[in-house]
A and B are shown apart, each in its own frame.
Chain A
Amino acid sequence: ETGVTQSPTHLIKTRGQQVTLRCSSQSGHNTVSWYQQALGQGPQFIFQYYREEENGRGNFPPRFSGLQFPNYSSELNVNALELDDSALYLCASSWAAKSYGYTFGSGTRLTVV
């Protein structure tokens, strides 16, 4: 049974650029949630994908978008990067949209300069 894999692990981008982060969900899981964790703070919910459809969204602007693929892997896209987007981006997978059990990835550390 594989865990959740995120790529890349680290990334440096320039303000105004676009970035795509990737997440492979744990085998057997069909739901992926994305979180943003600023330094010294708890993670904040960005959105969730369940069976390839967005299933809930946090307080993030539309330049944060996502996709889920038929194999349940997922992408997080951020357009027009701002300095405040610098954070650790975490992906968590689960079996169903209201599942109790989550498996987290190790995160992607994004730095915007």
Chain B
Amino acid sequence: KNEVEQSPQNLTAQEGEFITINCSYSVGISALHWLQQHPGGGIVSLFMLSSGKKKHGRLIATINIQEKHSSLHITASHPRDSAVYICAAQETSGSRLTFGEGTQLTVNP
């Protein structure tokens, strides 16, 4: 069992739909990161959470520390949101990030 698990692995949506990607982790963390990776490979940091909820534009990230679970929501999805979304746990024992395997999101027009 991976220390960080994401679901679903693949997600296809129609433009305008509300999207949720889930992340569960089994390690103690100091922060949980949500990242976006486009086909070229570069990674962009979307959110860093240690509690509660954060919002940036159409993106919302929540975390439940007790349940060791985080979600990334995209409202009014758009084809430009198509990318791989990765959650990563920053462990309390150090600064390394342990990554999930990513969710491939495709938003069709």
Interface of A with B (CB < 8 Å)? Answer: 31, 33, 35, 37, 40-45, 48, 55-56, 58, 88, 90, 92, 94, 97-107, 109
Contact = CB atoms under 8 A, between A and B. Distances in A.
Nearest to B9: A40
B38 to A, nearest CB: 9
Nearest to B42: A106
Given A42-B101, A100-B48, A104-B44, A58 B96 contact: yes
Interface string B7-51: 000000000000000000000001101010000111111001010
14 contacts: A31-B95, A42-B86, A42-B101, A43-B88, A43-B97, A43-B99, A45-B97, A55-B94, A55-B95, A88-B41, A97-B95, A104-B42, A104-B43, A109-B41
A56 B101 contact: no
A98 B99 contact: no
Contacts of B31: 100
A33 B90 CA distance: 13
Given A102-B33, A107-B41, A33 B96 contact: yes
B108 to A, nearest CB: 22
A40 B100 CA distance: 11
Nearest to A108: B41
Among B33, B40, B97, the one with the most A-chain Cβ atoms within 10 Å of its Cβ is: B97
